Amino acid sequence: MIRYLLLLIVTSIIGISIGSIDIPLDIVLRILIAKIIPWLDTSDITETQQIIIWSIRVPRVLVAALVGASLAIAGVQMQGLFQNPLASPGIVGTSSGGALGAVIALASGLASYSMFYIPIFASGGALLALFTVYMLATKNGNTPVATLLLAGIALNALIAAMTSLIITVVWVEHDIAREIVFWLMGGLDNRTWSHVWITLPGILTGIILAMVYTRELDILLIGQETAYSLGVEVERVQRIILLSTALLTGTAVAVSGVVGFVGLIIPHIVRLFVGPKHRYLIPLSAIIGAIFLIIVDLLARTINSPTEIRLGILTAVFGAPFFLYLLRKHSQL
């Protein structure tokens, strides 16, 4: 685990160092170290360089890491809860539900009064969408792949229609409509320390809940009847895992927009290294998810610099082929 944490630190420093304005690595490191050791001499570093690193790039990389970690953990929990390798926040409608909640906050003008309305509405939308899919797809404790996908497709279509309706209604307000459209494509441009502090409580709460119930998730993989026989309060555990997943997804969507496939790709990759035990799978998925999204965000802002490619587009480029591979592999079992 230590080596993966070191890899995360190195990836974060690379993400902070590279940008449209070239700042030498030694200056970047000195600015970062000066925040830990205040008496370090940084008089030769310009104020512009300090602002670019500490006020622009550092919070953006931190938000990318938090979003990547939260979506990866949400994917692990959903795959464990549904006992289904194809479950993920984007595919079963959780991300789009969170997006709809955030769009309502933006379109209604509530987001202009307080930044907290977006994560609150997004978490509520994610929880409602996840609960709906869970109720539709699960029967007698089982969640068939076909039913899960059909429920997710139907819900995503309904949510997309509702989102389009809202955009149509507010289209006369060009600034709001443009903000919503760009936000729906996912992106981390203009993220500040305020976004870090907004995401931190919800994501930390979701991570803590996920780690507390790792044993119960392991048991649920065996089957609900076995879980009951071992004394697990299945319904209560399911509700808490749903709450954790909604918190993680909703809070992530609130600051990044719709970023798909992270919760699908990362858990499968991490299982190759640590196996199915959630006490190892969840923390390592969080680290790898953070690394993955930092790298993808770095590509988004450098491939076509100074114009940024929307983050959700790139994650779909990586994730869609992987999903098709998993779908074909699962259909052949």
CATH number at residue 309: 1.10.3470.10
Return the higher-pLDDT residue of 323 and 332.
323
Does the residue 20 lie in any domain? no
Question: CA of 291: how far to CAs of 27, 63, 91, 183, 285, in Å?
Answer: 23, 12, 22, 22, 10
Across residues 210-226, what is the average pLDDT? 86
Residue (of 200, 17, 184, 204) closest to 96 by Cα position: 184
Nearest residue to 68 (alpha-carbon basis) of 292, 269, 260: 292
Structure tokens at 333: 């079992």
- The contacts of residue 282 (CB under 8 Å, 6+ apart) are 73, 76, 77, 207, 210, 211, 214
Sign of the alpha-carbon dihedral angle for 203, 205, 208, 211 = negative
Q: What is the mean pLDDT of residues 187-208?
A: 90
Does residue 173 fall inside a structural domain?
Answer: yes
Nearest to 78 by CA among 126, 19, 20, 15: 126
- Answer whether residue 55 is part of any domain: no
**pLDDT of res. 222:** 81
Lowest mean pLDDT among 2-11, 220-229, 283-292: 220-229
Angle between helices 278-302 and 2-17 (to 10 degrees): 20
What per-residue confidence (pLDDT) applies to 143?
64
Whether 50 is in a domain gets the answer: no
Integer Rg of the chain from CA: 20
Give the Cα separation of 172 and 306 in Å (integer).
29
* Contact yes or no for 224/281 (Cβ under 8 A): no
What's the domain count of the chain?
1
Look up tokens 């809940």; give the residue.
209
Percentage of the chain with pLDDT > 90?
Answer: 34
Q: What is the rounded CA–CA span in Å between residue 31 and residue 38?
A: 10
Residues whose CB falls within 8 Å of the CB of residue 127, separated by 6 or more in sequence, listed in order:
97, 242, 243, 246, 250
Residue 27 located in a structural domain: no
Comparing CA positions, the residue from 115, 89, 117 lying closest to residue 104 is 117
Check if the beta carbon of residue 42 is closer than 8 Å to that of residue 34. Answer: yes
pLDDT band at 61 (very low <50, low <70, confident <90, very high): very high
Check whether 39 has a pLDDT greater than 70. yes
Task: Examine residue 288 and state whether it is found in any structural domain, yes or no.
Answer: yes
Distance (Å, whole) CA 311 – CA 256: 8
- The answer to whether position 30 is within a domain reads no
The Cα 76–Cα 89 span in angstroms is: 10
C-alpha to C-alpha distance for 87 and 264, rounded to whole angstroms: 7
| Lookup result for tokens 């970062």 | 32
Pick from 98, 90, 92: which is nearest to 149 by CA?
A: 92
* 196 vs 202: CA distance, rounded Å: 11
Higher-scoring residue by pLDDT: 206, 82? 206
CB-based contact 284:1 (threshold 8 Å): yes
- pLDDT tier at 130 (50, 70, 90 boundaries)? confident
Classify residue 139 by its DSSP letter: B
Closest CA relative to residue 290, chosen from 172, 145, 188, 148? 188
Can you give the residue range of the structural domain that contains 263? 65-81+88-331
Which residue type occupies 210? A
pLDDT score recorded for residue 221? 82
Cα separation, 240 vs 209, in Å, equals: 8
Residue 112: inside a domain: yes
Give residue 331's pLDDT.
Answer: 60
Question: Which residue from 214, 159, 250, 190 is spatially nearest to 60, judged by alpha carbons?
Answer: 190
Q: Report the distance separating Cα 306 and Cα 309, nearest Å.
A: 10
Per-residue pLDDT at 282: 95
